[in-house]
Structure formats: structure tokens, C-alpha cells
């Protein structure tokens, strides 16, 4: 694990600053830009622009994933043998940055970002062969079945059971906050296979076909009125033992590995810099409440400085990843800072928009929508983004859980 | 991608930390300051022998020719060990003002040897005049007449020479004035961070060779000095901030209340996590500011302001939290953590305030 304390005292790996990117990266960036210019249709761009959470319009995201896959860029983070690009960390960062700047939509990434690394690490050859191609092509859409109504931050208390019956497990219980379950054909689940040991030791990791009889998906709208979240019910769902990832009762180890990827794999400053651009535009917009408000300008400037500090910290992490380290607790630091800064940007944007962000118009989020908007164009998604920003410090390990990780693993408290 | 510390930087860091750990004892420091000695000549000589004062001096003048990153390494350690000698003050004045003057050949070797201790004298009683000084430099038949008053010179009492910012006929001017010269009247006073502060009245006639810079080069040097001083004060703040955090973590692991260590309470754990998060973010930004300065990056001036804003904000918050989490012990003079708090507070307004740095940051558009 990359230890901050060690970092501090040894001082062998320190931060890079803003040294200019070498020329070959410029060429690389230009080639990405050229591709994006050709591949992104107006509909895809609109879906990207009108993204109000981590998920874009589902069909647009899926279409974009298949375009990327056809280009050979379906999963840049993966090893080459499984369809990765072989890009270095900096190239991958440039790719993500350019996609964001060009308003490419976000595909559903649970399979690529989370399950993929797990399968490669814990999966059998048969499992890799069966599942990895469908993940990278986007043909299979995976959702994550972790949280339950009674098990949120205390995930290890989960109660969904899987009982062995011959060559099958029989699964009973329910999962909630299962993002995109209503669009998914597979779910990776944590289930209880042993009730008589300490909670973490009795959990297994199952890959479940959503078409299996006994599964019911109940989508429900979030505060912004959109449907991304679901509850999934399992009633005597029969899952082949071959779909067990890792050993039986090893599920907690598998999940912990996955959570690290979830936290470490995010580059917050790409999105935050885009938000800063919106704040600059808001300050220049005569219709904005932020125009000619020096107190607003100071807050934006302080936010920009905090984004600079986070960007330099992300570069430090990339440096340690290049050196082969696991981001460990440092990814908790970045998750807390990145999400809280995103919330601050969203607050500033809603303040600049004022009442003009209040019209609620769901159809405007559809990529093929070209009609009038009740809100001014720049404010169409402002309220939804603000609402959805509140979830960012809850999912993927709450800010409180992250602070607990830092206290325990960095400060030794 | 990652700029690892160079071998030279690691050696400098390790040797300096070892020296200060062994030879800059907190209790001795306290007794010394209580006795009215704000700067220890023996320490300054040791700094010179270790090459710290030669860091910003080019090799052709007997120095090491190192950059902002190396100076920041020392600045951070000054914060950690509560060094009261004017090290960052002298490094900044040497690098940004004397080092670009015509007198570099004669003055720099004396700085490197520890014989000449320069600090910049910029502020005046009227805060609004700080960058357009009321102190004047006028050519007369007898020589150059320097007239005015300089105030709030941090550690001025420990300096042998002042680099005085004055208004001349051709714009700004920097003048090197020995504090012992006739016509320099100094009032010294102890400051809350254990230094000897100084105000001085200037009314003296000098030979031309005391004028370091005039006109545009003097203005350029002012900008260079301020940017460097902002970065180094941020680095010293960072060192003190980290030390305040480390002290707090250690203390809460030892201190038992309600039958358990304070560190076991989640309400305190999360506050210490916040202290760490903010300190690490600040560290990243300061090192970036150093590297931007050393690589001549277009945004170096902006990075210096960003570092000053962030370090000031975080230093204040973390050192206040450090006192709160300790409880009563932290409010006593004999306990170290309050001294980090006081030094951080003194550094907040050295060279410029957070608000001034923020306004300058906003005025410097990114390139």
C-alpha cells in the first residue's frame, strides 16, 4: 500500500508539477481529438452534455462503447491480452480528458472498471473467456449487487443468502442501489454462504444472469426524477457453481480488491476542470446571478486553487502507480476531496443560475431532443447536477467511511 | 510522470533533517528566546557550513546554484523545527534581489559564508504603500540619499544588511544597507513567533555601489522576490502544519480519557483525517509551485499565489484544530504545538496576506 507517512519521511517519490507534456503526448492527444471529431455524432455529444450524474443516456452510452470497442479502445485500462490498448498512464489520462472535453457520453462502466479487473485477478480461464469479451464490447451490461436495505456502509452484514444445492447455488434476498439494473443482463453479487463465521468470512462472489427465473427488478426515481437506481429481488434463483468468482467464502477479499479499483480509477480533476469552465462562463453571463459579484469570484478562485491542489495530488498518485504501487488509502483522500469539490462547484453553479435552474423538464435529457427548453440552455441540467452531486459522497464508500480508512490506515488511529 | 526527488535533493533533505533533529532542541530554543536571543550565531554558522546559505548562490560565486525546490526543502524543515533564524528571508532576498544585482560578485560569497545576513525591507507604516514605497532614493552632490522608514521587518534584528525597497528617479530601487550604518535607526522588538522584529528609520547618504537594482530590473526583482517568498513561506507553513498534525496524532494516541485513548473517538478521528487530507493537498500544490518556478513555467507566478492561498488556509485550520484536539496543554508555552500555531500565524501575513495572494491569483490569467 502506498503510505503517506512513508512518502513523507522517505521522500523518494514526490510530486510532479506542471511540467509540460512531452511532444509525443501532444501527437497522441491530437490523434485522440481527430478520432473524437469524426466518431461523435451530435446526438452522442448532446447525451454527453446533458449528463447529470455518472451515467449518460443509456443507449447513447452503449452506442459509444461499441464505437470505442470497434476502434480497439473499449477498455484502455485493461492489459493488452484482454483487449487493452497498451497506453501508459499519461495516455490513458489524456484519452479520458479528451473524451470529457469533447462531451462524449459515459458508457455504463461497472463491467469494465470494476468487474473486469476482478475477473482477471480471481477468475478461472473459463470465466475470463466467457465474460471478458462481452464486457469490453458492451454487449453485456453488468450491474453491482452489493448494498442491501439493511446493509449500506456496514456491507459485511449483508443477508442475501446462497445455499448450495448440487451444482447450483440457490439465492434468496434483495439488493438495493443497484444502478442500471433495469438495463443490465448480468449482475455481480455478494451473497452469504456461511452464517456461522464472522460476517466477512461467510461471503461469496456470484455472477448471476439477470434472465434467471426468480429475479425481479424494481426501478425507482431519484430526487431529480430520473431512474437510475433499482432494487433487485431474488427468490429461489438458481446459479451454477461455475459462476462463483474466487473461492467460496472468499467474496470479501474479492470485493475489497474491487472497491480499490472503484476508488483509485477515478480522475476527478478532469470533470472538475470542466465545472470550472462552467463557473467562468457563469461569471461572464449577464443573465447570471454571479455577474459582477466579487464575493462569487473569490469563491470560484479559491475553488480553482483547490482543484489545482487535487490535480497535483492525482499526479502524485499516478507517479506511484507507475512505480507499481497500489493507491490504497491515498485513493480515499482523492475520493473525499474530489467529490466534495464537485459538490462545491455544483453549489456555485446553482447559485449563479438562481430561479432559472428550477424548470423541471425530463424530456430535455434525451439525446434526440432538439425542442425548446424551459430553462436557459446553460441551466438545463444545473439543478439535476446539483441534486445528484449529493450522492457522490455516499456511493462508493461514504465520505465518513473514507475518513475512517484514512484515520486507520494512514494515521494509525 | 512523477518527479522523484533527485539524489541531491534527498541528500540535502536527509542531512538537514538529521542536523535539526540533533541540534535544534525545542527546549533550548525556548530558553534562548526567553533570554532575548532570537537568532543563534552558532546556528547560522552551522547553516553556512552545511551549504544552506549557498543554495541559491551560483556556482561561479562559490555557491551550489540550486533552485526553489531545494530552498523549499529547507523551508519545510524550518517549519517543522521552528527555526527562528531568518533562513527563508535570507534565501529569498539572496536569490531574487542580490543574485540579479551588479554586486553579486562581491556580496554573494559573503552571504554563502554566513558573514552577511540579508533580509528584504519592503513594508512601511502605511500598509497601502507597501509596493509603492514612501522611502526615497535621491541623487545628491554628496552621493545617494536614502530617506524614509521601514516597518515590520520579520527577523530584522538578526540581519546584518537590509535590502531596502525605495522609490528612485527611475522607478523602484533596491538598496543594500548595513543595519549598523550611521543614519539607520533601528527599533527592535520580540515577535510572537520567537523572532526579533524590527522597524527602522533611514536617513543616510550612500555610495553608488550600495544600489543593487534600479528601474525595471528592480521591479522585476520585486515580483521575483514576492513569488519566491510566497512559495517558501508556504513551504515553511507546510512543515509546521505537518508537525502540528503529527504532534496531535501522537498525543491523542497517548492521552486517555473516559478510560480510552482520545484517538479511539471517531469524532476526533475524522477531524484528524481532514487535517491530513488538506495537508497532503497543500503539499502537492507547493511542490508543483516549486517545480513550476524551477522549470520557468508560464504559470509559475500563479502557482506561487495558489500555494500561498492554500497553505495559509490549511495552516490556519490545521493548527487551530491541533490546539483544540490537544485541549488545555496546547495553550501552554512549554508545549510545542502552540508554537507551530504562532509561526503559522506569523507566516500568514509575511510578504502578503491570503486575500492579496488570491486577488493576484485572479489577476493572473492562465496561459
Instruction: Enter the DSSP assignment of A104.
Output: P
Of B117, B148, B180, which residue constitutes the final position of a domain?
A: B117
Comparing CB atoms, the residue among B253, B273, B361 nearest residue A403 is B273
DSSP state of B222: H
pLDDT in tens, B295-315: 999 999 999 999 999 999 999
B282, B285, B298: best to mutate for the A interface, most A CBs within 10 A? B285
Domain membership of residue B1 (yes or no) is no
Are both B211 and B223 inside the same structural domain? no
Q: Is A153 on the interface with B (CB under 8 A)?
A: no
Q: What CATH number should be reported for the domain holding residue B58?
A: 1.10.540.10
- What is the arithmetic mean of pLDDT over A281-286? 92
**By percentage, how much of chain B surpasses pLDDT 70?**
98
> Do B355 and B228 have their domain in common?
yes
Task: Identify any residues that bridge with B187 across adjacent strands, giving them in sequence order.
Answer: B199
From the CA of B219, how many Å to the nearest CA of chain A?
Answer: 26
Q: Any idea which residues of A carry the catalytic annotation?
A: 262
For A65-120, give the secondary structure using H, E and C.
HHHHHHHCCCCCCCCHHHCCCCCCHHHHHHHHHHHHHCCCCCCCCHHHHHHHHHHH
Flag whether pLDDT at A23 surpasses 70.
no
Closest residue to A19, CB basis, from B253, B266, B295: B295
**Position B133 in a domain:** yes
Q: Per the domain annotation, does B159 fall within a domain?
A: yes
B135 min Cα distance to partner chain A (Å): 33
- Residue B24, domain member (yes or no): yes
Are B25 and B131 members of one domain? no
Q: What's the pLDDT tens digit per position in B39-59?
A: 999 999 999 999 999 999 999
Planar angle of CA B252, B253, B256, nearest 5 degrees: 75
Q: Is residue B194 a part of any domain in this protein?
A: yes
- Decide if B2 is inside a domain: no
CB nearest B288 (choices: A312, A323, A400): A312
Domain of B136, CATH number, reads 2.40.110.10
Average pLDDT, chain B: 95
Chain A to chain B Cβ contacts (< 8 Å): 147
pLDDT, tens digit (0-9, with 9 covering 90-100), for A186-221: 999 999 999 999 999 999 999 999 999 999 999 999
pLDDT beyond 80 at A3: no
pLDDT digits (tens, 9 = 90+) for A219-266: 999 999 999 999 999 999 999 999 999 999 999 999 988 766 655 556
Domain boundary among B64, B88, B117: B117
pLDDT at A52 over 80: yes
Residues B248 and B211 in one domain: no
pLDDT at A319: 74
Residue B336, in any domain of the structure: yes
Answer yes or no: do B351 and B247 share one domain.
yes
Residues whose CB falls within 8 Å of the CB of residue B286, separated by 6 or more in sequence, listed in order: B72, B231, B234, B235, B238, B307, B310, B311
Which of B300, B316, B152 has the alpha carbon at shortest distance from B237? B316
Mean per-residue pLDDT for A275-303? Answer: 94
The rounded distance, in Å, linking the Cα atoms of B44 and B117 is 9
The answer on B357 and B225 residing in a single domain is: yes
Phi, psi of A209 (to 5 degrees): -75, 125
Write down the pLDDT at residue A131.
98
**Same-domain pairing of B212 and B225:** no
The domains of chain A, with CATH numbers, are 4-109+116-121 (1.10.540), 141-254 (2.40.110.10), 258-409 (1.20.140.10)
pLDDT at residue B146 is higher than 70: yes
Of A377, A63, A180, which Cα lies nearest the Cα of A369?
A377
pLDDT band at B127 (very low <50, low <70, confident <90, very high): confident
Residues written for chain A:
413
Q: With contacts defined as CB-CB under 8 Å, which chain A residues touch B310? A: 305-306, 309
Residues B211 and B231 placed together within one structural domain of the fold: no
**CATH (domain of B241):** 1.20.140.10
CB neighbours of residue A101 within 10 Å: 16
Residues ≥6 apart with Cβ < 8 Å to B342: B192, B193, B194
**B59 and B17, same structural domain?**
yes
Please report, rounded to a whole number, the percentage of residues in chain B having pLDDT higher than 90: 93
Shared domain for B268 and B354, answered yes or no, is yes
A284 interfaces chain B, CB cutoff of 8 Å: no
Residue of B nearest to A300 (CA): B362
Tens of pLDDT, residue by residue over A328-357, are 678 889 999 999 999 999 999 999 999 999
Number of domains in chain B: 3
Are B199 and B245 within one domain?
no
List phi, psi (to 5°) of B30.
-60, -45
Residue B153 lies in domain: 120-216
Categorize the per-residue pLDDT at A7 as very low, low, confident or very high, splitting at 50, 70 and 90.
very low
Query: How high is the ipTM of this complex?
Result: 0.94
Q: Is residue B78 part of a domain?
A: yes
Q: What is the mean pLDDT of residues A75-83?
A: 94
**Which residues in chain A have their CB less than 8 angstroms from residue B4's CB?**
12-14, 319
Same domain for B98 and B131? no
Domain end, chosen from B161, B196, B216, is at: B216
What confidence tens digit (pLDDT) does each residue in A149-200 have? 999 999 999 999 999 999 999 999 999 999 999 999 999 999 999 999 999 9
Q: Does the predicted TM-score (pTM) go above 0.95?
A: no
Partners of B143 in the beta sheet?
B140
What cell was used for B236?
515553511
**A13 touches B at CB < 8 Å:** yes
Classify B263 as helix, strand or coil.
helix
Amino acid at each position: 500500500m502506498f503510505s503517506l507517512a512513508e512518502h513523507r519521511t522517505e521522500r523518494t517519490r514526490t510530486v510532479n508539477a506542471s511540467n509540460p507534456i512531452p511532444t509525443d503526448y501532444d501527437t497522441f492527444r491530437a490523434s485522440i481529438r481527430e478520432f473524437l471529431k469524426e466518431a461523435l455524432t451530435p446526438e452522442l455529444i448532446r447525451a454527453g452534455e446533458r449528463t447529470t450524474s455518472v451515467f449518460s443516456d443509456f443507449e447513447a452510452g452503449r452506442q459509444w462503447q461499441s464505437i470505442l470497442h470497434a476502434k480497439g479502445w473499449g477498455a484502455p485500462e485493461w492489459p493488452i491480452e484482454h483487449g487493452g490498448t497498451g497506453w501508459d498512464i499519461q495516455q490513458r489520462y489524456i484519452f479520458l480528458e479528451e473524451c470529457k472535453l469533447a462531451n462524449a457520453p459515459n458508457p455504463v462502466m461497472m463491467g469494465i472498471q470494476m468487474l473486469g479487473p476482478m475477473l482477471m485477478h480471481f477468475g478461472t480461464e473459463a470465466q475470463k473467456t466467457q465474460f471478458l469479451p462481452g464486457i469490453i464490447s458492451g454487449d453485456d451490461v453488468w450491474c453491482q449487487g452489493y448494498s442491501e436495505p439493511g446493509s449500506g456502509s456496514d456491507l459485511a452484514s449483508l443477508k442475501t443468502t446462497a445455499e448450495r444445492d448440487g451444482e447450483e447455488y440457490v439465492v434468496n434476498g434483495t439488493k438495493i442501489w443497484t444502478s442500471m439494473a433495469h438495463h443490465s443482463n448480468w449482475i455481480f453479487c455478494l451473497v452469504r454462504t456461511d452464517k456461522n463465521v464472522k460476517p466477512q468470512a461467510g461471503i461469496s462472489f456470484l455472477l448471476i444472469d439477470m434472465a434467471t427465473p426468480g429475479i425481479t427488478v424494481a426501478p425507482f426515481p431519484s430526487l431529480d426524477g430520473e431512474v437510475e437506481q433499482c432494487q433487485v429481488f431474488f427468490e429461489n434463483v438458481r446459479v451454477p457453481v461455475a459462476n462463483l468468482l474466487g473461492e467460496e467464502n472468499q467474496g470479501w477479499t474479492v470485493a475489497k480488491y474491487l472497491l480499490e479499483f472503484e476508488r483509485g480509477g477515478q480522475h476527478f480533476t478532469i470533470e472538475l476542470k470542466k465545472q470550472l469552465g462552467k463557473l467562468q462562463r457563469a461569471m461572464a453571463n449577464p443573465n447570471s446571478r454571479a455577474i459582477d459579484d466579487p464575493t462569487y469570484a473569490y469563491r470560484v478562485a479559491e475553488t480553482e486553487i483547490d482543484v489545482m491542489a487535487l490535480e497535483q495530488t492525482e499526479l502524485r498518485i499516478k507517479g506511484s502507480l507507475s512505480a507499481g504501487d497500489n493507491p490504497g488509502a491515498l485513493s480515499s483522500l482523492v475520493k473525499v476531496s474530489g467529490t466534495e469539490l464537485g459538490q462545491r462547484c455544483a453549489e456555485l453553479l446553482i447559485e449563479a443560475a438562481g430561479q432559472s435552474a428550477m424548470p423541471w423538464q425530463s424530456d430535455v435529457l434525451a439525446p434526440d431532443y432538439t425542442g425548446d427548453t424551459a430553462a436557459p440552455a446553460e441551466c438545463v441540467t444545473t439543478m439535476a447536477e446539483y441534486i445528484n452531486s449529493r450522492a457522490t459522497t455516499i456511493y462508493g464508500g461514504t465520505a465518513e467511511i473514507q475518513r475512517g480508512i484514512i484515520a486507520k490506515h494512514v494515521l494509525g488511529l | 510522470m512523477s518527479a522523484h526527488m533527485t539524489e541531491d535533493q534527498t541528500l540535502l533533505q536527509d542531512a538537514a533533517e538529521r542536523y535539526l533533529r540533533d541540534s535544534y532542541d525545542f527546549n533550548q530554543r525556548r530558553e534562548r528566546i526567553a533570554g532575548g536571543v532570537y537568532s543563534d550565531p552558532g546556528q547560522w554558522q552551522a547553516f553556512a557550513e552545511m551549504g544552506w546559505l549557498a543554495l541559491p548562490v551560483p556556482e561561479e560565486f562559490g555557491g551550489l546554484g540550486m533552485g526553489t525546490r531545494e530552498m523549499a526543502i529547507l523551508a519545510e524543515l524550518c517549519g517543522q523545527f521552528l527555526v527562528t533564524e531568518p533562513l527563508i528571508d535570507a534565501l529569498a532576498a539572496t536569490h531574487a534581489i542580490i543574485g540579479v544585482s551588479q554586486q553579486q560578485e562581491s556580496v554573494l560569497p559573503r552571504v554563502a559564508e554566513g558573514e552577511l545576513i540579508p533580509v528584504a525591507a519592503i513594508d512601511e507604516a502605511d500598509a497601502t504603500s507597501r509596493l509603492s514605497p514612501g522611502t526615497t532614493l535621491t541623487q545628491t552632490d554628496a552621493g545617494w540619499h536614502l530617506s524614509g522608514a521601514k516597518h515590520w521587518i520579520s527577523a530584522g534584528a538578526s540581519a546584518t544588511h537590509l535590502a531596502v525597497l525605495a522609490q528612485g528617479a527611475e522607478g523602484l530601487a533596491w538598496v543594500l544597507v548595513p543595519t549598523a550604518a550611521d543614519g539607520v535607526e533601528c527599533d527592535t522588538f520580540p515577535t510572537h513567533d520567537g523572532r526579533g522584529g524590527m522597524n527602522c528609520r533611514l536617513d543616510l547618504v550612500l555610495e553608488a555601489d550600495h544600489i543593487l537594482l534600479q528601474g525595471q530590473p528592480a521591479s522585476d526583482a520585486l515580483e521575483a522576490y514576492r513569488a519566491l517568498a510566497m512559495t517558501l513561506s508556504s513551504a515553511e507553513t507546510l512543515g509546521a502544519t505537518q508537525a502540528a498534525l503529527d504532534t496531535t496524532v501522537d498525543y491523542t494516541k497517548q492521552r486517555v480519557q473516559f478510560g480510552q485513548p482520545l484517538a479511539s473517538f471517531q469524532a476526533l478521528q475524522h477531524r484528524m483525517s481532514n487535517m491530513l487530507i488538506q495537508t497532503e493537498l497543500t503539499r502537492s500544490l507547493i511542490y508543483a509551485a516549486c517545480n513550476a518556478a524551477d522549470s520557468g513555467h508560464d504559470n509559475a507566478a500563479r502557482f506561487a499565489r495558489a500555494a500561498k492561498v492554500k497553505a495559509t488556509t490549511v495552516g490556519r485550520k490545521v493548527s487551530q484544530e491541533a490546539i483544540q484536539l490537544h485541549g488545555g496543554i496546547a495553550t501552554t508555552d512549554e508545549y510545542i504545538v502552540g508554537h507551530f500555531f504562532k509561526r503559522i500565524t506569523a507566516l500568514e501575513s509575511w510578504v502578503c496576506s491570503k486575500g492579496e495572494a488570491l486577488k493576484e491569483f485572479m489577476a493572473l490569467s492562465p496561459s
